[in-house]
Amino acid sequence: MKKQIRRLIILLVSIIVVLVFLGNCSKTNRYTHWIGTWNGSASDFTLYKLRYKNQTLCTIVTSTFGGSKERIKISNEFGTGPINIGEVSSAVVNSDGSASKSLKKTLTFGGKSTVDIDKGSFVWSDPFELDIKALDKVAVSIYVTNEVKNVTGACGGVESYFSKEGNFTDSVDTRNDFKAVYKNGALKVSPFFTSMEVMTSKENGSIIAFGDSITTLSWPDYLVKRLNDANIKNLSIIREAISGNRILHDSESTLHGLCGPSGISRFEKAVTDHQGGKYVIVLEGVNDIMHTGPGGPAPASEIVSKDEIIDGLKTYIEIAHKHNLKIYGATIMPFGGYEVYSPELDVKRKEVNEWIRTSGMFDGVIDFDKATLDPNNPTKLLPQYDSGDHIHPSDVGSEAMANMVDLKLFK
């Protein structure tokens, strides 16, 4: 009898081992799909006059999706010389910037901890294992050994820091070992680090927020929180946004120290570079309108009509549909009180918005104009939604934008 029980136990244990093995194999086979969990459009930061040599750059981002296997991108796309990377680490950090040693990983590139990145190029790290949940804060620390004067970076949903001389990639105390990198007031930038992806299954995907400086602010972060609160956990949100970006012309190189290619020239690459892209939200056009107004930074030769702006948006729609993406058009928010505002420019804005709302060409409409305008003066942002410059929303305004998004668009 004892022998029979022993044999039965051995048989049950063997079955359990086989089932676990098969389950792990099934999971491994399913988890072959990369989606973005944080992203910023690579931009030229040369005019920021950032200079780094024998220093560590630490960027903290909010993950918009969970997973246990990740990779990161380091970019030198706008560099004029190579970057020598001495070491890179990634860690989940607390709200105070501290991390546990057990939650920190040293990254490799082709199996090595060091990597050289030629000018005009970028590298992906080898996949690394780090348990990350949606809305976790993740720090990426990059030790740059050589002098770099022409920095490639990204904006949007970041806290960035730089160290004194030396390798601080093993630091577990961001606040004490680093100083904050802030340029142009509230604009926060991520030097070199431009993307993080997580490996998952194909049923999961991304919402791509495409636009200008307004989309580098916090409305996508509030939308992530709404999705998670509503238990919609199969989607990440990633930004493809450049400050000063216009649909039809490149950004002026003097604007905020940033330079970026036109939306038309970058849109297809931006929405197809991400393996899991499912939806695109487009909020763009305000710079096309106001930059050519009286006192605006663009030359008169770049004045565009409302029909030209609409034709640009139609091109976005055609490209998105060609790649089986649903595309949602966001209305352009008011900018009354901004330094180049005029009633004539506001007429153009309203005409474009009317087309977005009524043409039926987008797969859906998100009315950010309605969400943020002052009912008593619809040419302006509601005072509490105004960051102070009369065009960029405050944090409260960004939350109002996210609350305007109908989550049924992502069912």
How would residue 45 be classed by pLDDT, with cut points 50, 70 and 90? confident
Model pLDDT, residue 174: 76
Q: Long-range contacts of range 176-184, CB-CB < 8 Å, 24 or more positions apart?
A: 178/56, 178/58, 181/50, 181/57, 183/48, 183/50, 183/257, 184/256, 184/257
Model pLDDT, residue 311: 98
Residues 236-270 pLDDT 10s: 999 999 988 999 998 765 444 455 789 999 999 99
Instruction: Name the percent of the chain lying above pLDDT 90.
Output: 74
Model pLDDT, residue 78: 92
Helix (H) or strand (E) holding 62: strand 55-62
The residue whose two tokens read 């244990």 is 13
Model pLDDT, residue 18: 46
What value does the mean pLDDT take over residues 129-150? 95
Give the separation between CA 162 and CA 58, rounded to whole angstroms: 6
pTM above 0.85, yes or no: yes
Nearest-5° Cα angle at 279, 315 to 258: 65
Q: Would you say residue 19 has pLDDT above 60?
A: no
Q: Would you say residue 93 has pLDDT above 80?
A: yes
How would residue 291 be classed by pLDDT, with cut points 50, 70 and 90? confident
Model pLDDT, residue 260: 79
Phi, psi dihedrals of residue 15, rounded to the nearest 5°? -65, -45
Model pLDDT, residue 23: 52
Model pLDDT, residue 176: 81
Q: Would you say residue 325 has pLDDT above 70?
A: yes
DSSP state of 243: T
Model pLDDT, residue 296: 67
Give bridge partners of residue 52 from the DSSP assignment.
Answer: 148
Q: Would you say residue 154 has pLDDT above 70?
A: yes
Model pLDDT, residue 5: 66
Q: Would you say residue 363 has pLDDT above 90?
A: yes
Neighbours of 146 (CB within 10 A): 14
Q: Would you say residue 128 has pLDDT above 70?
A: yes
Q: Would you say residue 175 has pLDDT above 70?
A: yes
Model pLDDT, residue 173: 83
